């Protein structure tokens, strides 16, 4: 179920976090020998071993510039499997952003966000207004909102692109 306001514990990551860190090749979700849950255990394994075991559902990632750079691997699928609620980053790679929205996983660009948080603090993000609030310190910053009625918001509200298309197909069987 879609929530436009998210709250959770912050995990901090820096610049240029690649899809190879999110989804290492040996544990890619297309590996038939591993379940999605097993694959997700290796998320960030190369730069933060054991991180995936510490994540709790609803946790949020705050990151630097160019989050999700690299290949077109759907790294947000692993984050979603782990229960991460969203990524709020200085900037995100375009293909990662688009893949994330298509999978129903929120990504918000918010220049300056990395300076507002320390790991473990509590964050509140309003996806519709772009307001990002540090609940631990009371500081606020505004990122790029996903306006009501915009294609990304409609895809997120549907739970991803495929559920949105299926809903549209059912509503208009002649499509």
pLDDT range class, residue 129, cuts 50, 70, 90: very high
pLDDT of residue 21: 93
Residue with tokens 């990632």: 61
| pLDDT average, residue stretch 38-61 | 94
For the CA atoms of 80, 73, 27, 68, the dihedral, rounded to the nearest 10 degrees, stands at -60
pLDDT of residue 86: 98
| pLDDT average, residue stretch 86-111 | 97
Distance (Å, whole) CA 165 – CA 150: 15
Residue 172 has pLDDT above 90, yes or no: no
Kind and range of the H or E run holding 78: helix 75-82
For the CA atoms of 89, 94, 96, 100, the dihedral, rounded to the nearest 10 degrees, stands at 90
Q: Name residue 5's beta-bridge partners.
A: 126
Distance (Å, whole) CA 99 – CA 79: 12
pLDDT of residue 2: 85
Distance (Å, whole) CA 58 – CA 124: 11
Mean pLDDT of the chain: 93
pLDDT of residue 30: 62
Residues 85 and 60: beta-carbon distance below 8 Å: yes
| pLDDT average, residue stretch 53-80 | 94
Distance (Å, whole) CA 120 – CA 136: 9
pLDDT range class, residue 76, cuts 50, 70, 90: very high
Q: Which tokens is 8 given?
A: 């959770």
Residues 152 and 127: beta-carbon distance below 8 Å: no
| Per-residue pLDDT reduced to its tens digit, 2-34 | 899 999 999 999 999 999 999 887 776 566 777
| pLDDT average, residue stretch 104-110 | 97
Residue 97 three-state SS? helix
pLDDT of residue 60: 98
Residue 143 has pLDDT above 80, yes or no: yes
pLDDT range class, residue 68, cuts 50, 70, 90: very high
pLDDT range class, residue 114, cuts 50, 70, 90: very high
Residue 154 has pLDDT above 90, yes or no: yes
Q: What pairing do the DSSP bridges indicate for beta strands 122-126 and 131-134?
A: antiparallel
Residue 89 has pLDDT above 80, yes or no: yes
């Amino acid at each position: 179920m879609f929530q436009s306001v998210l709250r959770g514990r912050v995990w901090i990551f820096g610049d240029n976090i690649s899809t190879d860190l999110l989804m290492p090749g040996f544990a890619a979700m297309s590996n038939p020998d591993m379940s999605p849950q097993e694959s997700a255990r290796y998320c960030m394994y190369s730069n933060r071993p054991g991180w995936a075991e510490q994540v709790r559902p609803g946790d949020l990632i705050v990151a630097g510039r160019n989050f999700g750079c690299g290949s077109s691997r759907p790294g947000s699928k692993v984050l979603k499997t782990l229960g991460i609620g969203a990524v709020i980053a200085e900037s995100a790679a375009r293909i990662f952003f688009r893949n994330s929205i298509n999978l129903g996983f929120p990504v918000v660009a918010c220049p300056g966000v990395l300076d507002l948080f320390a790991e473990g603090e509590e964050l509140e993000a309003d996806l519709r207004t772009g307001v990002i609030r540090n609940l631990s310190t009371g500081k606020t910053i505004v990122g790029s909102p996903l306006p009501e009625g915009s294609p990304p918001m409609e895809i997120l509200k549907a739970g991803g692109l495929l559920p949105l298309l299926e809903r549209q197909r059912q509503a208009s069987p002649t499509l």
